[in-house]
Structure 1
Amino acid sequence: MLKMILKGVVIGVANIIPGVSGGTMAVSMGIYDKIIHAATHFLSEFKKSMKILIPILIGAGLGLVVVARLIQMMFDKAPFQTNLLFVGLIVGGLPAMTKKVKGQSIRLSHIIACVLFFAFVVGLAAIGETEGAAADLSINAVNIMKLFGVGIIASATMVIPGVSGSMILMLIGYYNPVLNEVNRFIDNLVSFNVPGLLDGCAVLVPFGIGVVVGIVAIAKIIELIFKKFPYVAYWAIIGLIVASPFAIMMMNQFGKITVVTVLTGIVALVVGVVAAMKLGEE
C-alpha cells in the first residue's frame, strides 16, 4: 500500500511539471498496465481495481497538494539538479520497457512507431515554450462546459506516456489559472473559508468530472491498442520515453551552471535512476 502511494505521489508531481509525463512515470515504475486495466475494469473488477486506484489517487493527491510545492521550491533553488532527477526517474524505467520487446524481431512498423512518437514529444516541447493567453475562469454555462472539455483533454494527455498534460494546458492557457485555483482551494480549505470553497468547487468540479471521463475513455482506447498491436505500442512508448528527457531539457530553465551544480546534478540523476528501478520492482 505504502509503495503504491509513493508511486502515486511521483505521478501526481509529474503531472503538474511542464515537459514531464505522469504516464511515463507510471511506465517507469511498472504500474502503467495495471492502472489502465483498473481504469477500464473498475465496474467488473471493482475490489481489485480499487486496491490499485485508491492508493494511486491518494498518492497523486498528496503529490499535487504537498509535494508539488516542495518540488516547485526545488525548481526555484536547484533547477538543474531537479530536472536531472526527473530525467533519472524516466531513464530508470527504460530497461523495464525494453524487456517487454526483448527477443522479438524488430519490424518496420516498430521503428516507424518509435520515431514518430519520439518526434511528436520533441515537437510538442519545441512549440510549448510560450504559454497561451490565460483562460477566463469566471463562472457561466459556457466556461463550465469549457472546463469539462479541458479536463478531458488534460486527463487524456496525462494518461498517454511521454505527453505532458501540464504542457498541453500551458499551450491552451489553462495551466496557471487551474493551478492557481487548486492552490486557492487548498488555502480556503485550511482556513475553512466556505464561500471560497464553493467558488473553487464551481471551477474544479466540472474540470474534475472531465478528468475522470477522459481517463476512462483514453484508457479503454489504449487497452484496445495493446491487445491489437502490443509490440507497436511498446515501441511507441519507448520512443516517448527516450524523447521525454529532451522535452524536459527544452521546456525548463536550469539557472547558473557550475562545477558543483554539474556534480550534484549527476548525483540527482543517479538517485532518480535508482529510485525508478526500485519503485518498478514488483
Structure 2
Amino acid sequence: MPNRLQQTKSLQPAALLAVRSAIGGGLMGLANLVPGISGGTMLLAAGVYPAFIGAIAEVTTLRFRPRSLLLLASVATAAGLTILLLAGSVKSLVQDHRWIMYSLFIGLTLGGVPLLWRMARPATPGLFAAATVSFGLMAVMAATSSAGGGADERSLTLVFLAGVAASSAMILPGVSGAYLLLLLGQYEPILETIDQLRRGVVGDGTAGPDVALILDAMWIVVPLGLGIVVGVVGVSNLLRWLLERAEKATLGALLGLLLGAVVGLWPFTESPDPTPGQFGGATAFVLAGFATTVLLGRLGGTGDDEG
C-alpha cells in the first residue's frame, strides 16, 4: 500500500500541482544560491517534496507519467530561471544585508516543520531517535565548519564532484547545497560563472548575446550540470527506497535535518551585539518567512488527513 507521502501527489489537480511546483521550484532555486538554506526545505514547504522525489524515481526507471513530467518540468524551469537571473543579486544581498537575509531564511526554513510533522504523525520512538541523530549531525556540522572557500578553482573534476555533492544535499530538507559548495571552495566561482552565463545570454544592452562569454561559462556549467543530474537521481531513488521501507525513521531524520539547519543561520555572527532595532527587525523577518512557508504548505492541502 502507498504511504502518506506517495498519496500526496495524487490528491492535487494538475493546475494546482503546476503552480505549487513552480513556486517550490522558484524558492528552491533561490535557496540553492544561499549557503545554509536547503532547496529541499522549500519544496517541502510548498507541499511538493514527496511528489518530486517520486517523480524523479519514476522517470529514472523509464516510467513517464504526465503528472510526474509536469511536476519536474515546473520545478526545473522555475529553479533554473531563478538561479540564472538572481545569482549575482543574491550573492550581493547576502554579503551586504546578511542579518536581514538570514533572519528571513530562518523563518522560511522553520516554516516547513509543521508540514513535515503532519506527514510524520503519529510519532514513534524511532522517529524521535532519527530526528535527534540528524539534528545533532547538522548542529555539529554548522558549529565546526569554517565555511571558508572561495578559491577560484576551475578543475572540471572538482566542479563535477561539487555538483554531485551539492545536488545530493539540495534535495534533502535541511541540508544546503550552496553550503557544501562553500566548504569545497566552489561557491563564489560557480555563482560568478552562472552570472557570466546570464550576461552572455542577455548581452550588454547594446549588442546581442556574447557567444565567447557563453562558451567560456559552459566549461563550468556542463560538468556542474552533469554532477547535479547524477546527485539528484541517486539521492532521490535512495530516499524513495528508504520511505518505502522505514517511513517513520526517514521522516524523523528529515525533521532533524530541518531543525538542525537553523543552527548555522544565526544572523548576527558578524555583529554579535545587535541593536534592539536589529533584533526586532530580525524577529519580524523570521515571522514573515515562517508565515510564508506555512501558507505555502497549506496551499491546496497535503492530504495527510485522509483516512
Task: Output the TM-score relative to the length of structure 2.
Answer: 0.82
- Which residue among 49, 61, 72 is the counterpart of 2:68? 49
8 Å contact from structure 2 (residues 57, 237) kept in 1: yes
SS of the aligned residue for 2:266 comes to helix
Tell me if 1:144 matches 2:140.
Answer: no
Distance apart, 1:69 and its partner CA: 4.2
SS of the aligned residue for 2:146 comes to coil
Structure 1 residues 120-269: aligned runs within 5 Å = 120-132=137-149, 134-137=151-154, 143-191=155-203, 192-249=209-266, 253=270, 257-269=274-286
8 Å contact from structure 2 (residues 87, 194) kept in 1: no
Structure 1 residues 82-121: aligned runs within 5 Å = 82-104=101-123, 106-107=124-125, 109-121=126-138
Counterpart residue identity of residue 7, structure 1: G
Task: Output the TM-score relative to the length of structure 1.
Answer: 0.89
User: How many residue pairs get matched?
Assistant: 275
Distance apart, 1:96 and its partner CA: 1.2
SS of the aligned residue for 1:173 comes to coil
TM-superposition CA deviations, 1:192-228 (whole Å, max 9, x none)? 1111211111221111011112101110001000001
Counterpart residue identity of residue 187, structure 1: R
Distance apart, 1:14 and its partner CA: 0.8
Cα distance change, pair 255–55 in 1 and its aligned pair in 2 (3 A)? farther
CA distance in 1, matches of 2:225, 2:147: 25
Q: How big is the alpha-carbon RMSD for the aligned residues of Structure 1 and Structure 2?
A: 2.2
CA distance in 1, matches of 2:269, 2:37: 10
Tell me if 1:64 matches 2:83.
Answer: yes
Cα distance change, pair 81–275 in 1 and its aligned pair in 2 (3 A)? same
Distance apart, 1:252 and its partner CA: 6.2
SS of the aligned residue for 2:259 comes to helix
Residue ranges of structure 2 left out of the alignment (5+ in a row):
1-17, 204-208, 301-307
Cα distance change, pair 235–250 in 1 and its aligned pair in 2 (3 A)? farther
CA distance in 1, matches of 2:75, 2:111: 20
Could you say which structure has the greater relative contact order, defined with CA pairs below 8 angstroms and 6 or more residues apart?
1
Distance apart, 1:133 and its partner CA: 6.4
Counterpart residue identity of residue 48, structure 1: R
Residue ranges of structure 1 left out of the alignment (5+ in a row):
138-142
CA distance in 2, matches of 1:13, 1:155: 14
CA distance in 2, matches of 1:72, 1:155: 19
Aligned match of 2:40? 23
